Structure 1
Amino acid sequence: MPPRTTLETLPPWLILMGSLAAIGPLAVDMYLPAFPAIAADLGVAQGLVEQTLASYLLGLALAQLCYGPLADRYGRKVPLLGGLTLFVVASLGCATAATIDQLALWRIIQAFGGAAGMVIPRAVIRDHLETRDAAKALSMLMLVMGVMPILAPLMGAQALLLGSWRTIFHIMAAVGIMQWLAVASSMRESLDPEHIAALTPRIVAATYRDLLRHKAFMGYALAGGFGSAGLFAYISGSPRIFILIYGIEPQYFGLLFGLNAASLIVASQLGARLLNRHTPAALLARALRGMVLAAVAALLLALGDLITLPLLMACLMGFMASLGFVGPNAAALALAEQGRRLGVASALMGGMQMLCGAASGLAISAWHTDTPLPLAGILALCATLAWLSGRFAMRPA
């Protein structure tokens, strides 16, 4: 178990955690430009292809609840290696899927593997760092994760030029193999032996029950969860909005996607610097207000039939910039008091985020119009719920 340290440099273990956390965004974003190609190849409507994304998010939500207790009982490294193995196998399954149902099933299994890269890095960060430095580390983690929404659609679009949509999942499998080798060769166990938790149904259920009753944890976790739901609504709906409604070519889709990801990255890194002068709670409160303003502006423009692509991009970039502050600070505050149950707390927080994301993704895939109104409406709802959750967490007991 490494001692708690301050974050003055970027240590190798944090770089590894960032690369592991990037697996989730890679699996989410890389196949987005291939939605029309998958629909045509499998002979289904694009809405059914969009639902495979919601299936992946649902799998992530459920799987994280499993990895938390495993990480608190068996350490961080062994469950991570198991998850990466499952991710590789499922990626190859996606590449060979012959029907949309098979693709959806393999995506769920792929999510059960990829979830390890979302739960365990957060727990490892809290193993090493206290709350303020953990918020800085999570901001740096968001930098690494934020690169993937820029690179993944571009990689997916280039893979379509070189091969079929199945090539995209072969690339995911290759990335999973490289991550497995990196963890096996260089990761050190960070769980304190004194913090090892028993793995029985009664104890696990009691731990989750206590967390669900923890006011601060639930408020901050839901603030981050509803913010993430807006992100996943955007991820699910952006191919249809940019490619089909605004007529953007698939190979240029990644550029627009990257502008919004860049907003997330820049804001998260600015937030890490501002943590030297401001508390995580203060930054979170201001960011939640900014998120609401950006999302409500998009909704009003859509309702008035005034929204153009530049105006939509401005609102989306404002939402993403606010989320760059919300994500790391909400996560650090939610995990601040969780000590011996960090793995379970990280799992429950991530599970709630993915459930919110799956719900918003399903809503986007079911609400079809030839305008950006569905996305604007769901973003406004998610931002409002995130703001209310943050207010609940910060309210004195």
Structure 2
Amino acid sequence: MTDNAPPAPAATPWRLVLMLGALTAFAPMSIDMYLSSMPDIGRTLHARAEDVQATLAAFFAGMAIGQFLYGPASDRFGRRLPLLLGIGIFIAASVVCATAPSIQVLIAARFVQALGGCAGAVIARAVVRDKFNHADTARVLSLMTLIMGLAPVLAPQFGGVVQFFAGWRGVFWTLVAFGLLIGLWISLSLAESRSEATAVQARSENPFRAYLALLRQRRLVGYCLAGALNGATLFTYISTAPDLVMGTYGHTPLVFNIIFALNAVGIIGASQVNRLLLRRSTPDRVLVRASIASIIAALLLVAAAWSGIGGQFTVLPLLFAALSTYGLMSGNTMAGALSVDPSRAGSTSALMGGISFGAGALASWAGGLLHDGTPKPVAAVMFACLVGSSLAIFGLAVPKDRRGRMAA
């Protein structure tokens, strides 16, 4: 690897970072705020546990599908219009969630809610690439992770308080208020950032051609797979953590919320370590080293889960370590993907987001399929995802020189 110093970082536009970070919080707010309300939803709507769980699966599906729509639309029509449309859909669907008379209506509304909410994350990443180069994109995305990461820390507790005073329907009314607040902020403060070159490129091809063009680029596919598979560990954790912590280890919901928050703090902390590392290193160099660290953490997690040595006092800290690598890798893989073809930034952001949610859904499904009341399934699935992520980094994403050595 070369040791060329990275360019001096640009001044941090904190107001823009806060706004874009809030846009990426639609998904974690919509997921984490209502997790503790799921039993109450089942009782109120006379639904089985698996039907209530389907409200989460429907949201994941909506997030995966919706991103493929907003990416090309934001390249063709600009960032503001599709973003405001998505927020409007989110608000309307949240109202339906809050007033749902049956579990079937709630499942459908959650799907539509995700179709609207995913606009925030897709277009926020495209706006970052519109305004910054590769290295600065990685730094800004790490700062956005700091803001987005506060949602898993605060949302479960806040959601629990809202549920206590206003029931589970109050949680969805809170999401309505959140959508209205962010929508007003965006309409008043976010300037259009899409370049004319991007618009010309988008008008010259249909969305399918744009995605095919992106999928033909080896490095871009590598960054997408690396980020998606690393992120799939987070989905696996979210879907299995309640059963593992409260079921297998017998902790109370309060302890579960504390553990959930600590893992979110680990991700946030790692994202800020990444921002500091980027002052003297390149995103690709950080990716290579972080991927090696992730494999070590996952291997130790598998060993602890299978051997039983130390029980939860070994498994939970290693789970924390494996999850924290997401903070080191997510911003760098996204920045890398966006740097390959800047004229298709919206479509690239959508492609990476859609693949991430698809990989996450598959990993969550695998974890549920292998469920045996022990930490073995979650450890195995996370290990497989992190190995795949590292293979994508070393085999596809990071460029090599003529001798085949990594030129990160």
1:394 paired residue among 379, 398, 403: 398
After superposition, the C-alpha distances for 1:4-55 in whole angstroms (9 at most, x for unaligned) are: x953233312211011111111112111222333333334443433332222
Q: 1:45 to 1:376 in 2, by over 3 A?
A: farther
1:79 paired residue among 74, 77, 82: 82
Paired amino acid for 1:299: V
Q: 1:366 to 1:88 in 2, by over 3 A?
A: farther
Question: Take 1:244 and 1:41, find their aligned partners in 2: how far apart are those partners?
Answer: 23
Q: 1:364 to 1:169 in 2, by over 3 A?
A: farther
Paired amino acid for 1:48: D
Look up the match of 2:237.
Answer: 234
Contact 1:224 1:326 in 2 (8 A): yes
| Structure 1 unpaired stretches of 5+ | none
Question: Take 1:142 and 1:169, find their aligned partners in 2: how far apart are those partners?
Answer: 24
Question: Take 1:322 and 1:92, find their aligned partners in 2: how far apart are those partners?
Answer: 36
Corresponding position: 1:321 with 2:324: yes
Question: Which deviates more, 351-360 or 371-380?
Answer: 371-380
After superposition, the C-alpha distances for 1:221-279 in whole angstroms (9 at most, x for unaligned) are: 11000011110111111122222222322234221111001111111101101111111
User: What's the offset of the Cα at 1:195?
Assistant: 2.3
Paired amino acid for 2:327: G
Within a 5 Å distance, the mapping from 1:18-57 to structure 2 comes to 18-57=21-60
User: What's the offset of the Cα at 1:198?
Assistant: 6.3
User: What's the offset of the Cα at 1:304?
Assistant: 2.2
Paired amino acid for 1:383: L
User: What's the offset of the Cα at 1:158?
Assistant: 1.6
1:63 paired residue among 54, 61, 66: 66
Look up the match of 2:197.
Answer: 194
* SS of residue paired to 1:178: helix
* SS of residue paired to 1:278: coil
Look up the match of 1:331.
Answer: 334
User: What's the offset of the Cα at 1:168?
Assistant: 1.3
Q: 1:47 to 1:376 in 2, by over 3 A?
A: farther
Contact 1:139 1:271 in 2 (8 A): yes
TM-score (norm 1): 0.94
Corresponding position: 1:245 with 2:248: yes
Contact 1:55 1:358 in 2 (8 A): no
Look up the match of 1:147.
Answer: 150
Corresponding position: 1:221 with 2:262: no
Q: 1:183 to 1:190 in 2, by over 3 A?
A: same
Contact 1:23 1:117 in 2 (8 A): yes
Q: How many residues align?
A: 393
Question: Take 1:292 and 1:51, find their aligned partners in 2: how far apart are those partners?
Answer: 32
Look up the match of 2:354.
Answer: 351
Output the aligned Cα RMSD.
Answer: 1.9
2:135 paired residue among 125, 132, 155: 132
User: What's the offset of the Cα at 1:200?
Assistant: 6.7
| Structure 2 unpaired stretches of 5+ | 1-7
Question: Take 1:166 and 1:310, find their aligned partners in 2: how far apart are those partners?
Answer: 37
Q: 1:164 to 1:201 in 2, by over 3 A?
A: farther
* SS of residue paired to 2:206: helix
Look up the match of 2:207.
Answer: 204
Look up the match of 2:275.
Answer: 272
Question: Take 1:253 and 1:339, find their aligned partners in 2: how far apart are those partners?
Answer: 41
Contact 2:29 2:152 in 1 (8 A): yes
Corresponding position: 1:298 with 2:301: yes
After superposition, the C-alpha distances for 1:330-356 in whole angstroms (9 at most, x for unaligned) are: 111111121211111111111111111
Question: Take 1:180 and 1:291, find their aligned partners in 2: how far apart are those partners?
Answer: 37
Look up the match of 1:371.
Answer: 374
Question: Take 1:242 and 1:312, find their aligned partners in 2: how far apart are those partners?
Answer: 11
Q: Give the fraction of aligned pairs with identical amino acids, expressed as a percent.
A: 35
Corresponding position: 1:9 with 2:12: yes
Look up the match of 1:96.
Answer: 99
Look up the match of 2:4.
Answer: none
